[in-house]
Structure 1
């Protein structure tokens, strides 16, 4: 039986810094979805919480248009088809990735099957666009990591960084991770397998880095700011930077520019920003490799799950306060739900 109402979260106010209780508004609205030809109603089970969502709610030019005030907040999610429309290629019970409920066209979502060693939530983690596929594309297509090279990964305990560290080890690289606490450092070293881990809140971390790592061939930059300014001075000649994000400055109205940028010239560095959706042609290959690693248990994942649509702002802020380890997920419905 379909519900009479459902909940959705809309952007209510653009925050100047961190999201707050005024940023989003939970609305309860009538359930009036009527799928037409080649459409389906999807009940979203999990939403991915990503640093890029902070960019999406700014009124600024980006790779996607900003979410407008009054619109439903944008997120990548996974869910289950509950009402397929006429001529839909989807059937009830299909898992798809793409609010609490959503009316979608068949070609707006990707159907998938649970693979050996995987759970539904993994399709927002190691098999998700903003985590595993971003890590894979950034490391292998952008940074072009090679066996025997050294790579530095910032935000190494995060959704992307923790997977980059593991993928790089599989490629035969020497891995140095940068994190924000001793607890995260222990996890990245002991569980994720990085060769060196540095807590940037330790006053001696830069000196330790110079002693233990020296210089690096590749930098996978998730952080920006002062950390990146330092790593630019520790790049080998002809080093490569895969610029994935700059979480340290997303909440600033006037973010600082890149320091030490002359290192790009003097060391002849290649610095490339990337957006994972520009590399859709590589997704199938990447997904197969990552799925095989999940199946044999050779890569690990960790989730920080926040329960309830109304806690969206809290979930986003976890990313910027450093209180999460691994992938932040907003749980919206029971994974076993059927209607």
Structure 2
């Protein structure tokens, strides 16, 4: 039996910040799943900053999204019909899935989530890609030690809020940077030692105020001028975790100061990474993150919009700071 569904396509490549013309909605019908496939109903769709880079036609660590094809990203879905023994009707799965309400995929392209271990939405936040990114960025690259100062840009975001808590577990003193008083309150509520509102405070003075012993680890989600300033305050043998640069994603010509001298004078390590670098360790890390969530040691926040039509709005909202924690769209209607 055919199933009617809507999908969201990349209509045109954005020049700067995406807008409504970036996206197009399309109605299609899909057939019943073939052997080895499952029919999925989307429940939660994740919008993530890295997806902005895939909208440009340029070489990167992942291919660009093709024009006039469905955009795809992290999602949680429910199995409605299965033609594979590994999954049954009612199971929840996660994977890189197209922005559409229903879809047939190979069972091997999705992974069953343990709904009893954590809420299913958490597999897109604290126990999913943001949690894994925070986990490996903090523990494998940042390696914060007892008493060190750990600074995070985008500290109230999906990754930053988790990275700060993981650093606290290692005994670090955590300083979070964000752009609203509400986000500062949130960072305080999850245990950050100091918080900075970069929109209302001179950032150079704020770093000196909150980091009197300078910065040992900088977990960078923002890039741009903010990071230029933090890099001026690195301690000897500091580590810079280059996770993201969201302030520059819609402005590719935004070039800042050269960083080489800053790294040389502090003997600092600066390393960029993508989460796929640690794929062999996902299972162990996911178990640890789920255990921390279950015990209450790792708190997380989700900003959830409701309705398939609001996916473009949610995506654009990533770049205007509308979310605290992970930004998701509930499309389970």
Q: TM-score, normalised by structure 1?
A: 0.93
Paired position in structure 2 for 1:47: 45
Q: Quote the offset at 1:260 in angstroms.
A: 4.1
Cα separation, 2, equivalents of 1:13 and 1:310 = 18
- Pair 1:291 & 2:267 matched: no
SS in 1 for 2:53: helix
- The range that moved more, 252-261 or 73-82, is 252-261
SS in 2 for 1:114: coil
- The range that moved more, 2-11 or 102-111, is 2-11
Q: Quote the offset at 1:205 in angstroms.
A: 3.5
Match of 2:93 among 93, 96, 113: 96
Contact 1:232 1:261 in 2 (8 A): no
Cα separation, 1, equivalents of 2:62 and 2:76 = 20
CA displacement 1:282-305 (0-9 Å, x = unmatched)? 211211111111111222211111
Paired position in structure 1 for 2:315: 316
What are structure 2's unaligned runs of at least 5 residues? none
- Calculate the aligned-residue CA RMSD, in Å: 1.5
Cα separation, 1, equivalents of 2:254 and 2:69 = 26
Cα separation, 1, equivalents of 2:88 and 2:201 = 56
SS in 1 for 2:300: coil
- Pair 1:208 & 2:213 matched: no
Contact 2:144 2:170 in 1 (8 A): yes
Paired position in structure 2 for 1:227: 226
Cα separation, 1, equivalents of 2:48 and 2:103 = 20
Contact 1:16 1:253 in 2 (8 A): no
Given the superposition, is the C-alpha separation of residues 204 and 253 from structure 1 closer, same or farther in structure 2, using an over 3 Å criterion? closer
- The range that moved more, 307-316 or 7-16, is 307-316
- The range that moved more, 307-316 or 89-98, is 307-316
Paired position in structure 2 for 1:20: 19
Q: Quote the offset at 1:253 in angstroms.
A: 3.6
- The range that moved more, 88-97 or 61-70, is 88-97
Contact 2:203 2:226 in 1 (8 A): no
Contact 2:203 2:229 in 1 (8 A): no
Q: How does 1:180-191 map onto structure 2 within 5 Å?
A: 180-189=179-188, 191=189
- Pair 1:77 & 2:78 matched: no
Cα separation, 2, equivalents of 1:258 and 1:112 = 44
Q: Quote the offset at 1:228 in angstroms.
A: 0.5
CA displacement 1:294-326 (0-9 Å, x = unmatched)? 111222211111222222221112111112111
Q: Quote the offset at 1:3 in angstroms.
A: 6.7
Contact 2:243 2:273 in 1 (8 A): yes
Contact 1:305 1:328 in 2 (8 A): yes
Q: TM-score, normalised by structure 2?
A: 0.94
Spell out structure 1 runs of 4+ moving beyond 3 A: 257-261
Q: Quote the offset at 1:41 in angstroms.
A: 1.6
Q: Quote the offset at 1:132 in angstroms.
A: 0.6
SS in 1 for 2:105: strand
Given the superposition, is the C-alpha separation of residues 248 and 109 from structure 1 closer, same or farther in structure 2, using an over 3 Å criterion? same
- The range that moved more, 253-262 or 300-309, is 253-262
SS in 1 for 2:230: helix
CA displacement 1:245-268 (0-9 Å, x = unmatched)? 000000114122454441111111
Q: Quote the offset at 1:4 in angstroms.
A: 3.9
SS in 2 for 1:61: coil
- Pair 1:126 & 2:142 matched: no
Cα separation, 2, equivalents of 1:39 and 1:216 = 50
Contact 1:166 1:299 in 2 (8 A): yes
SS in 2 for 1:321: coil
Q: How does 1:1-339 map onto structure 2 within 5 Å?
A: 4-32=3-31, 34-85=32-83, 87-98=84-95, 99-116=100-117, 118-129=118-129, 131-189=130-188, 191-214=189-212, 215-334=214-333
What are structure 1's unaligned runs of at least 5 residues? 335-339
